Structure 1
Amino acid sequence: MKKTGFIILAVVILGIILYVTIVIKVIEFLFGAILFLVAAVILWIIYNKVRSKVEKNF
């Protein structure tokens, strides 16, 4: 393989690795954001249930 062909192959392989890494990071970010929103909704529901019970007792 000539020198230019090797450089082109190396650039393509590095580009694929970079692309896959970025895609994985985006997926991780979106998964984290979804988990954060789910946790916020669950905490809001629990807060409302506890608040209503406390208001009835006091």
Structure 2
Amino acid sequence: MEKSAPRRRETASLDPVDYPIREYVAAMAMELAGMARWDGDERLAGLLESAADLARRTASA
């Protein structure tokens, strides 16, 4: 059976202003940090908050 080539994502047409991925990642990381903290995992919560902080920074070109 022949394997097909991996598909490439078409991202060139996405406008970062209309599709704020980094904002979404930051918000999701904060939600996950709260869940980790609720479960008693302070270390994981801290790491997720660090990820959220990184996502909030301006992406380097």
Instruction: Give the TM-score normalised by the residue count of structure 1.
Output: 0.40
Structure with a larger share of its residues in helix = 1
Provide TM-score, normalisation by structure 2.
0.38
Query: In terms of Rg, which structure is larger?
Result: 1
Relative contact order higher in (CA < 8 Å, ≥ 6 apart): 2
